[in-house]
Amino acid sequence: MTRLLGGKEAAKGLKDPFAPSMVERISSIMDAFGLPMARLSLDEVTRRSNLPRSTTHRILEQLAQSGWIAHVGNLYSLGYKSMRLGARDIVYEELRSASNARLNELAYRTGLVVHLAAIDGSEIYYLDKFGGAGATKVPSRVGGRAPAHRTAVGKAILAYLPPEVVHEQFAELAGQHHGHHIADVAGLHRELATIRARNGVAFERGESFPGIACVGTAIRDTGGPAAAISVVGDFSVPLERIVPVLIGTAKAISNDLVLAEAAMAADDAVA
């Protein structure tokens, strides 16, 4: 006859048959990131996963240590391993879809080449390029990469990332000197502070491609900078005059991203 356990014995000897398994808990937490670009606080992940806060925090930290989740500041997002499994392509497609019409219009209004780019570690990744015949004169390409600290789009995103993240990614710049390029991580931090003081507007003059100048700014979702856009020309183009229309376009795309996230959150609440 089985003896009934009580007190601490019961806690150690019996398991709740309806308690979710570890796999189910991890699945619930990963499912909380409904949009691949989502950046969520611990409380948001707890609410969406319907798990105890302490359990959520413990699993998130374990997933962050193994690369499935990224943890920057007080926000969590999908990590590099999750991105390798296809989430990255979904993020990029969402960004392209949200910005396509507005960036086409920006290229038409300015008569210049327009870039859409995301950051990937210490590099930027060109997601889209607009500008008709003029685009062939700019040696960037969709799917191409460039050092983030040498591009207007890269610097525009880096300006709003935590300083410790920037420092870690670009510590190897120490002692490097390449003409107009930023020489070290301290110089990069100074440049990013200047960009923040200009309301997020970043300039690049020959740092990535000789003879090419760019002005860029970030587009943001609820978690921070999701990507950036830039207008590109040669050194003779007065890029400062383009700043108002550039900022207006970035704000419109940012609003579209925020509305999309709010709609998904509302759908989740109904479900």
Whole-angstrom CA distances from 108 to 14, 138, 200, 212, 249 are 68, 16, 23, 19, 12
**Final residue in a domain of this structure, among 36, 52, 78:** 78
Confidence bin at 78 (pLDDT 50/70/90)? confident
231 and 137 co-located in one domain: yes
93 and 111 co-located in one domain: yes
58 and 99 co-located in one domain: no
Q: Domain holding 43: CATH number?
A: 1.10.10.10
Structural domain boundaries enclosing 42: 16-78
194 vs 96: which has the higher pLDDT:
194
60 and 136 co-located in one domain: no
pLDDT (average), residues 65-75? 83
222 and 143 co-located in one domain: yes
> Three-state SS across 99-168?
HHHHHHHHHHHHCCEEEEEEEECCEEEEEEEECHHHHHHCCCCCCCEEEHHHCHHHHHHHCCCCHHHHHH
101 and 74 co-located in one domain: no
Answer for the pair 116, 233: CB distance below 8 angstroms, yes or no: no
Confidence bin at 96 (pLDDT 50/70/90)? confident
Residue 269 counted as domain residue: no
236 and 157 co-located in one domain: yes
270 vs 113: which has the higher pLDDT:
113
pLDDT (average), residues 8-14? 43
d(CA 186, CA 51): 42
pLDDT over 70, % of the chain: 78
73 and 162 co-located in one domain: no
246 and 112 co-located in one domain: yes
Q: Which among 37-41, 160-164, 251-255 has the top mean pLDDT?
A: 251-255
Whether residue 177 is predicted with pLDDT greater than 60 in this model: the reply is no
Residue 49 counted as domain residue: yes
Residue 4 counted as domain residue: no
Answer for the pair 153, 180: CB distance below 8 angstroms, yes or no: no
107 and 50 co-located in one domain: no
Confidence bin at 270 (pLDDT 50/70/90)? low
Q: Domain holding 135: CATH number?
A: 3.30.450.40
Residue 60 counted as domain residue: yes
Q: What phi and psi values does residue 204 have, to the nearest 5 degrees?
A: -140, 130
154 vs 168: which has the higher pLDDT:
154
d(CA 54, CA 52): 6
For residue 153 the two structure tokens come to: 């789009």
66 and 124 co-located in one domain: no
* Overall number of domains in the chain: 2
pTM: 0.70
Return the pLDDT at 12. 44
Residue 24 counted as domain residue: yes
Residue 126 counted as domain residue: yes
Q: How many helices (H) and strands (E) does the chain have?
A: 10, 8
1 vs 150: which has the higher pLDDT:
150
Burial readout 146-159 (b: 16 or more C-beta within 10 A, e: otherwise)? bbbbbbbbbbbbbb
Tens-place pLDDT, residues 16-46: 444 567 777 888 888 888 665 677 889 999 9
9 vs 35: which has the higher pLDDT:
35
Whole-angstrom CA distances from 140 to 47, 86, 113, 149, 270 are 43, 24, 10, 16, 44
Residue 220 counted as domain residue: yes
Whether residue 11 is predicted with pLDDT greater than 50 in this model: the reply is no
pLDDT over 90, % of the chain: 36
Whether residue 88 is predicted with pLDDT greater than 60 in this model: the reply is yes
SS3 at position 91: helix
144 and 247 co-located in one domain: yes
Average pLDDT, the chain: 81
d(CA 77, CA 60): 10
d(CA 200, CA 95): 19
Q: Within the chain, what is the greatest distance between any pair of CA atoms?
A: 91
